[in-house]
Amino acid sequence: FHFAAFALKDSAYPDNWDWYHNEFLGSGGYGSNTWRPTSEILRVEDKKHPAVKGVPQTFKSSPNEWYRWANDLRKNPDIKILAAIDSTSFPLGTGPKAHEIWHEGYYPVVWTNKKYKMIYVNMGHNDIDYEHAPHNKELSHTFANEIQNKLIVSSLMWLGTK
């Protein structure tokens, strides 16, 4: 999920990455991310999709690193945004670098592409203390959030249907 869409621009197979990011995911390439991973309020954008069935209209996520993409997914008619970061969550991230903290914008975090049986879920990067290597310490757990787990399991179940 989370890392499945991440690829820096340099690639030995640029044509394949272009299809993957622009056609399949619809997101375009990686733009930037927040840091450190933070829990945020997410808003369900499409209550009818099976992946978000039973998920509240808004819910607090597990701590996560959030990604920004090159393409505005709202402009792609093949993309169905299922959940996005709610505007009440700003600012996102804690830094220490200023560009790792977002103060405004629209950030989809779960979406499907109508041309393919796929779903992208941004969640999956818990908070880890990387500053004390080699003894990195987990500071949070991706699967410690019951509502987020429901979304992930429902997404997998939907992917398994015809």
Domain boundaries, the chain: 2-159
144-159 average pLDDT score = 92
Q: Are the beta carbons of 37 and 140 closer than 8 angstroms?
A: yes
**For residue 22, how many C-alpha atoms fall within 13 Å in the half-sphere facing its CB?**
7
Q: What is the pTM of this model?
A: 0.85
Please report the pLDDT score of residue 13 as a whole number: 56
pLDDT tens readout for residues 9-25: 555 655 567 888 899 99
**Rounded Cα–Cα distance for residues 31 and 142 (Å):** 23
What SS3 string covers 49-76?
Answer: CHHHCCCCCEEECCCECCEEECCCHHHC
Q: Are the beta carbons of 124 and 142 closer than 8 angstroms?
A: yes
Q: Name the CATH superfamily housing domain 2-159.
A: Class I glutamine amidotransferase (GATase) domain (3.40.50.880)
134-to-4, 11, 91, 137 alpha-carbon distances in Å: 26, 29, 30, 9
Q: Are the beta carbons of 7 and 29 closer than 8 angstroms?
A: yes
